[in-house]
Amino acid sequence: MNIILLGPPGAGKGTQAAKLVSSRGMVQLSTGDMLREARTSGTEMGQKVAAIMDAGELVTDEIVIGLIREKLEGDTGGGFIFDGFPRTLGQADALEQLLSEMGQGLAAAIELRVNDEVLVDRIVNRAKEAAANGQPVRADDNAESLKVRLMEYYKKTSPLLGYYHAKGKLKAVDGLADIGEVESAIAQVLDNS
């Protein structure tokens, strides 16, 4: 079972992905992690990635799809969680084509819906608590940076929401609910897909 987790920064995608990995044996595919792993792998694809990243350029969709293909050909476990991909309609089409070629499909695109103001308050408060406890705090975990990140997320992701809605794959859960409630809502989506 393959799914996409969608949601703005701080919505809990990482937390929920970790729970799915633990409870269902799914494999989380984070494009950032895959690129860092490929860069140091020494493979032909890894050398391409390293050269592009060292030049300060963006890795092409074709290369990212190639990395995803390599992962899909490996251990599928309980399916894949796509995290940070797709980000554009072109990437969504490429992912759908790749899954189709490999005899797989997408069970759902799960959107962790949030109220932006509540989300900003939650992240700013979390950063304050971390700082008070001597824990590291992301430099961009402040209200102004978060608002910019949210605007960027919505500009890029809105077309994807429509894309997956039109395909009957978009499922929304309340991303601001208790972590356990979000986990249960996602489990219900998966069990009904």
Catalytically active residues, by annotation: 13, 87, 126, 138, 149
The strand pair at 170-174 and 80-83 is best described as: unpaired
- Please give the C-alpha separations between residue 131 and each of 19, 120, 124, 127, in angstroms, as whole numbers: 26, 16, 11, 6
The Cα–Cα gap between 5 and 12 comes to 10
Residue entry with tokens 């251990």: 75
The Cα–Cα gap between 105 and 186 comes to 18
Q: Which residues contact 57 (CB under 8 A, 6 or more apart)?
A: none
Which value, to the nearest 10 degrees, does the dihedral of the CA atoms of residues 96, 68, 185, 116 take?
-90
